[in-house]
Structure formats: C-alpha cells, structure tokens
Structure 1
Amino acid sequence: MQFLTGLPIIPGSALKGLARAYGLLSIAAQLEPKLPLEELDKLDEALGKGEFRRITNAALLPLAQHFQRAFGSQDAGGICIFYDSVVMELPSGSLFEADVMTPHFSDYYSEKTPYPSDDQSPIPVTFLTVA
C-alpha cells in the first residue's frame, strides 16, 4: 500500500525480480547444450560476476553482457532503475467505489451483550475501496 493514499502498489524491487527472472530464463533457453532449471542459480551467479564462458553462442554474448550491466550483482548495482507501479485511472470511470460491510452482532462484538442473538439489527457500514 502506498503510505499517503492507501492505494495498492507493486514495489519496484518486485518488478526488477520479474524482469531479471525473465531475462535469465531467456538466456538459459538459448544455451546449447540446454541448461537444466536446477542450474539457473549458477548461471545467474556467473552472469553477475561477468563470467561468460558458458555462453558459446556469439549471438548470445551481447545479451548476457546487457543482462549483467542492467541488473548488476551482489557487489555492484545495475544501471536499470525500477520504480513502484501505481494504479492508473480506469477508462470506464472512477478509480474508487463504495463498498458495504454489515456486521450483524455489533452489541456482542462491542461487548454490550454476553452472546450474539437474533434480536440485534445489522448496521451497514459504508467505506471506500479501489474499483
């Protein structure tokens, strides 16, 4: 949640992780011989260190180098910046809408009565939600 508005966000770190995983899988899919999925961590570590000896395909070498520059390693940050994603205005109307919650035993939950009973009237509570 965004701390000022309460709107949902996707953190930039999550978007970076998604892009990094996609890039790593794209490189691994083009390697010959095929790399087992269990070996992805080793490939990721090697690319982060700038070790490209597994890349025997000359066409893949620039892609691997771009990956290393973009995402960096544990020792050095990458050159790409990923910002948090935010909710955009919906094309069909408002970003917000009203929602209703109807607690049925408000006296019981506020400890005015020792047990819930059917003689208590529900009291609708309206609140704002993201559409």
Structure 2
Amino acid sequence: MSKYKIIHKNNKINAILANLNGLINTKLRINKFTEIKNLPGRLAPIKSEKKVINNQSKKFNTIKKEWSKNYDFLEFEFKLLDKMVIGLGDISIHETSILLHHIYGIPYIPGQAIKGVIRNYIIKARHDEFEEKAFKCDKFISYFGGEKQGDSGVKKAGQNYQGKVIFFDAFPCNDNYIIEKDVMTPHYKDYYEAGKKAPTDDMKPVPIEFLVVKNAIFKVYIAIKKSNDINKEEVKELFFETFKFMGIGAKTNLGYGFIDIEHIKNKYNEFKSKLEKEKTKNMSVGEKIVYNFKKGDFNSRFGQFWANKLDKLVV
C-alpha cells in the first residue's frame, strides 16, 4: 500500500505511469487508491481504453447474430450536450464517486439506468405518477415486466410477466472523451450533517470535487423480443420522447446528463437505412418491388390487391 501513497503524492510519477505504453490505467485506481485532488485536471483515454472502445461494436455484432432469431434490435447514440456523472453517490472511500467499468476503467451507462429513466418517464407522463396504475397496463408490463394488477386488458391479474425489452450497457463509441474535475459547494454543512444548528450565513461553504464525463458519445442497444404486442416503432418513439425531456445520471436538475436529441434521431435514421440495405441486398428485382410496395399504404383495397398479385408472381 505504501507504493500507492508515494505515487499519489507525486502527480508527475502518476502521469508517467499512466502513459507507460498505455498499459497502466490511472482510472482503475480511482475510488480505490487515488484521491480526486491528486488527479490531473483532465484524464483522456489511453491506448488500452481506445482498444476496448474500438472493439465494442464487433462484440455486439456477435450478440446480435446469436439473438437474431428471437429478438429485433434498435441502435441509438447518446451524445452529451455538456457533461454527465453516474455513480456520484455510490459507495466509495472518498466523498464522491464515479461509475467506471471495473475491468476496463472506462465510463459507461448501465442498461438498468437507461431502463429506469424510460420506465419512470412513462409512469410520470402517462400514468399520473402512479406505479400501481402503470401495472394495470398490458403494454407497460410487456415492456418492463411485473405483476399485473387489475382485470383490464389481456394479461391476467396477479400473474407475473417477464419484460420483452432488454437494455444493454452503453459504452463510449468515441475515443476522445474526457474525464475532468468539477466542483459543488454545499452551504450550511453543519445544518445538513448534524441538524442541530439553524442554517445561517456565517456557515462556511465547503467545496467538494467530483469527476464528470465530457465530450462523450455512447452507443445504446435495445433488444426487443419478437412478438405481436411489442411494436419497434413505438419503442423508438418512446425513447425519443423520454430523452427529449429527461437526463440521465446525477444532478440532472442542474443540466447534467442531457442528450442531444437531434443527434439521436439522425443516427437512428442512418441505422435504419443500413438495415434496409441489408434486408434488400440479396433480393431479386421482383422481391424488391414487393418489399417496397408493401411498405406503402395498405389502407386501400387497390394497394392490397396488387401486393397479393405481386406475391404470386415472385417465385
């Protein structure tokens, strides 16, 4: 343990070790040995982190292939408008914390955090902030799972259901993000900690340093079980609606953790176009005509008639 104390007292040694062929990850020592005050003002990704980030999409493509029979996938990108902190109040030997992957040392957003934000938004916006009311809704239970309450709908009251939407952990997809120091300055420390003294102006503010993630873009994957009661377009629109109004992580009431919604939409459209190209890549000319025709308006009898005719013509 003594060697860590020596390292931490000397920021120059700390920086040299952190950049030694990209093998030693300074961030893995945060919340274990290194105090925030002994860190440099900014921490950029090193070689080992960049390698992990660049391999994430390849790893996830393997998951998509294995799950493709039973699940459809949606892909989004979270681009931070400013900065984000997740895990600020987690257990730590220091006053504040930050959530970093326990193996890679890179910041990430847990899938349960993304799920929690969307779930809470639905309860607030569509069920008058009553969770009991949400559990009476078949669609809510199809998304998130739970015990059905009430007799309305198809699902039976008192029965537990598994959610059909899976939210994966979101990792950075850009390797130029930054972890840097931020500061909060609580007033009336004696009042909040002990509660014996009234909050007065003679109490000194206490600056507390904490770490935030800036300039980051996170890749978000959602798997949807193939079934008749889950519509991918509805999940997509719900995702857009949620993060138009909600941030993620701590201190969202002060503007932390908010996402560039236009970036999400643009990147989703690129993802959708890529899917379309993959679907039609190996189709014959006739199959492409039928496929594109069926994407149109089915409300007219004329359209339905000719779609059926084309189906019979294409072998």
TM-score range, shorter chain: 0.3 to 0.5
User: TM-score, normalised on structure 2?
Assistant: 0.20
**Structure showing the higher strand proportion among its residues:** 2
User: TM-score, normalised on structure 1?
Assistant: 0.44
**Structure showing the higher helix proportion among its residues:** 2
